[in-house]
Amino acid sequence: MPCIYVSEISQYEGQEVTVRGWLYNIRSSGKIIFPIVRDGTGLLQTILLKNAVPADVFESAKALTQESSLEVTGLVRKVPEGKTAPGGFELDVRSLKIGQLIPAGNPFPITPKEHGVEFLMDQRHLWIRSSRQHAILKIRHEIIRAVRAFFDDRGFTLVDTPIFTPAACEGATTLFEVGYFDEKAYLTQSGQLYNEATAAAFGKVYCFGPTFRAEKSKTRRHLTEFWMVEPEVAYATLDDIMCLAEEFITYVVKKVLESRRSELQTLERDVSKLEKIEPPFPRISYDEAIQLLQSKGVSIEGGDDFGGTDETLLSQEYDRPLMVHHYPAQVKAFYMEPDPVRQDLALCVDVLAPEGYGEIIGGGQRAASLDLLKRRIEEHHLPPAAFDWYLDLRKYGTFPHAGFGMGIERAVAWICGLEHVRETIPFPRMLYRLRP
């Protein structure tokens, strides 16, 4: 008799199968019990009739508790018309094997009742079993799959970049220092600098991995460990990568809409908002963004960086992702290429997701001049020795190039319509959270 996954159940109508999983929920009414079984791939309503199974089986089923592990064997039946059950099929149970019965006195900590977020975060290792968290993490997987497919299908080579690094990429204030034998190392903030080297070797590259920021910010957008996908393209300009970002975001959203409808529904996501994500995305300069904010009564001066609330305000203005380009060089990282006409501006772009989600992508064109980079490294008080190899890229065939980075968790939060990034990653790491 086949052991199957709930997701495959429709192929087994009329057959006897075994499903292995955990008790999701149970209802009973005297002579009939409806345990709902969860196996990670779906939910299955099972049915035990008092007259149809041995008395001991019926009694043990009645005593089942939430999340007890079990194996059920029975006949697969289409749910009769007029009745509903998850997935449209149910199992007429012939036998039941309990793996572990969780005692009623020490029940599974997460029950269908409301729990506080801190409690749930402490129970994250168990919380991920619940249907909402399951839906979010399935969508996360779909997004990651789409990210890889997008670049793979367009001739990009995936080239992995290191996690232990000798220096900062995105500002020395958010570096995590780790002991590295007799010296200090830092957890990478971005694979970009290495991407620039690999772009010279492969033309179009991307890296995708965990990145780290010792952010002392306790906001709904910040994690200390997050996953970033970073494409880098040799000979590309700012304009080229804005077009790439636009095509990329559109593709990822489409793939999620195609493959994860039911999960979006579980999250009660308004998909009409996602269906509007089509090129062209609005593009405004930093100066225009400042004017827009000022016209909304925000007290912000040209030259200031945007805060979280500014980004929220800007991204609420449009129903598509907003591309803000040409920020003042002084608020951006050391490696930005200056605008040839206005040297104080950087050839960079931030993409702000709609519905107030704010920045999901940061990128731009990279400085190609050796002298400029040397000066910038000094101005930013970066240790020159750690950048020797990076400067080599400007000595041995320097070339214009551009790229960007998208934080996966910010993208998941937006696509899923979540309040906070803490639910977008299986085990979040934040200012006050290192466990479980």
- What are the residues binding Mg ion (CB under 5 A)? 362
Nearer to Mg ion, 21 or 362 (CB): 362
Span interacting with ligand 4AD, options 3-11, 79-87, 222-230, 383-391, rule CB under 6 A: 222-230
Cα Rg of the chain (Å, integer): 26
CB of 176 to Mg ion, least distance (A): 18
Q: CB nearer to ligand 4AD: give 21 or 354.
A: 354
The alpha carbon of 224 is separated from its chain's Cα centroid by a whole number of angstroms, namely 14
Three-state SS at 434 = coil
User: Under the criterion CB under 6 A, does residue 222 sit at the interface with ligand 4AD?
Assistant: yes
> Residue 124 belongs to what H/E stretch?
helix 124-127
CB of 170 or CB of 246, closer to ligand 4AD: 170
Q: Which helix (H) or strand (E) holds 284?
A: strand 283-285
423 binds, among Mg ion, ligand 4AD, none (CB under 5 to 8 A by kind): none
Return the structure tokens found at 264: 């979006």
- According to DSSP, the β-strands at 322-325 and 283-285 are parallel
Question: Of the ranges 46-54, 93-101, 359-367, 382-390, which one interacts with ligand 4AD (CB under 6 A)?
Answer: 359-367
Kindly tell me which residue out of 151, 409, 415, 428 binds ligand 4AD, with binding defined by CB under 6 A.
409
Residue 363 touching ligand 4AD (CB under 6 A): yes
Q: Is 428 in the site for ligand 4AD (CB under 6 A)?
A: no
- The yes or no reply on residue 159 touching ligand 4AD (CB under 6 A) is no
Q: With binding defined as CB under 6 A, does residue 410 bind ligand 4AD? A: yes
What HEC string does 200-222 produce?
Answer: HHHCEEEEEEEEECCCCCCCCCC
Q: How far is the CB of 350 from Mg ion (least distance, A)?
A: 6
Q: Which does 360 bind (CB under 5 to 8 A by kind): ligand 4AD, Mg ion, none?
A: ligand 4AD
Which of 213, 325, 376, 422 is the binder for ligand 4AD (CB under 6 A)? 213
Cβ-proximal residues to 351 (8 Å cutoff; 6+ apart), any chain: 245, 249, 281, 321, 322, 323, 324, 359, 360, 361, 362, 404, 406
| 223 contributes a contact to ligand 4AD by CB under 6 A | yes
Edge-to-edge order in the sheet of strand 183-187: 164-165, 183-187, 177-180
Q: Give the residue with the Cβ less far from ligand 4AD, 74 or 405.
A: 405
> Are 65 and 107 a contacting pair, CB within 8 Å?
yes
Q: Which of residues 68-107 bind ligand 4AD (CB under 6 A)?
A: none
In the DSSP assignment, the letter for residue 15 is S
Overall residue count recorded for the chain in this entry = 436
Q: Are 148 and 154 in contact (CB under 8 A)?
A: no
Looking at the Cβ atoms of 203 and 308, the one nearer to Mg ion is 308
315 in Cβ contact with 330 (< 8 Å)? no
In whole angstroms, how close is the CB of 201 to Mg ion at the nearest point?
26
Are 285 and 342 spatial neighbours (Cβ–Cβ below 8 Å)?
A: no
Kindly state the smallest distance separating residue 228's Cβ from ligand 4AD, in Å: 5
CA distances in angstroms from 433 to 112, 224, 423, listed in the order given: 24, 9, 13
Q: Does 362 bind ligand 4AD (CB under 6 A)?
A: yes
Applying CB under 6 A, the residues found at the interface with ligand 4AD are 169-170, 190, 192, 213, 215, 222-223, 226, 228, 230, 359-363, 403-407, 409-410, 421
